[in-house]
Amino acid sequence: MVSDSQTTRADYYRVLADCLSEETLVVTALGNASYLWAEIREAPKNFYLEDAMGLALPMALGLAVAQPNRKVVVVEGDGGLLMHMGALVTVGAVAPQNLIVLLIQNGVHAASGGQALTNAGLDFAVLGRAMGLQHAENIASADSFRPALVAALDTSGPSLLVLATEPDLTAVVPPVVFDPVRTKQRFTDAIGAPRYVPTFFGGGKLVAP
């Protein structure tokens, strides 16, 4: 449920930054989900997903499966998740032990102008448990977020923490220029993944970083 408290996205992010190790991979959705995270904890192991609403979770799911020895944290919005609810169903089916889903529940499509969701009061934690995520919890404040996040980081997942807050419709100016190619190349280098080199007529290949 969307909270009447004054807990902001930034409050949650400060707790997140304080609790993560340097090896944790973080995928953030478009808009302030990425802009604010870059302002608080800019790092090569951040993957900022721009201009693809609802696709942060599928990206993080694939990453968690491909990198099973690393914790993967994804920040998605309630509007984005409603656009691709099947992704959460797949998380429940695949059950990656290293994936933590942080869902910003503000009741609006913030990145596209603040349009209200069709059902702003939806209980996503209940939905998550119905989809097979045993660890799914509604969070109403930064104080309650800290122990829940620490527990999720210390145990096997997948976990879903639904973070209630008010909409933040004013875009934050990130400290770095968001270039999708640079983001991808920097991220793959940081995790030691091979880089895909395309060609005009197919036959692209992976090359060592």
pLDDT tens profile 181-190: 889 989 999 9
Q: Do residues 22 and 44 touch, judged by C-beta distance below 8 A?
A: no
Whether the per-residue pLDDT at 73 is higher than 80: the answer is yes
CA distances from residue 174 to 16, 20, 31, 89, 201 in whole angstroms, order as listed: 18, 20, 10, 32, 37
Residue 56 DSSP label:
H
Q: Does 1 or 35 have the greater pLDDT score?
A: 35
Out of 1.20.1090.10, 3.40.120.10, 3.40.50.970, 3.40.50.80, select the CATH number for domain 9-178.
3.40.50.970
Which residues neighbour 137 within 8 Å (Cβ) at sequence distance 6 or greater? 125, 148, 160, 161, 162
pLDDT-derived band of residue 51, with 50, 70 and 90 as boundaries? confident
* Mean pLDDT of the 64-72 span: 94
Condensed to tens digits (0 to 9), the pLDDT of residues 77-135 reads 888 888 888 999 999 999 999 999 999 887 656 666 556 667 767 888 999 999 999 89
Q: Which of 45, 42, 20 is nearest to 100 (CA)?
A: 20
Phi/psi at 3 (5° precision): -90, 150
Q: Is the whole-model pTM more than 0.85?
A: yes
Type of residue numbered 138: N
Type of residue numbered 192: G
Domain range list for the chain = 9-178
Q: Which of 148, 147, 142 is nearest to 161 (CA)?
A: 148
pLDDT of 122: 81
Q: Which two tokens stand for residue 35?
A: 């802009």
DSSP readout, 59-93? HHHHHHHH-TTS-EEEEEEHHHHHHTTHHHHHHHH
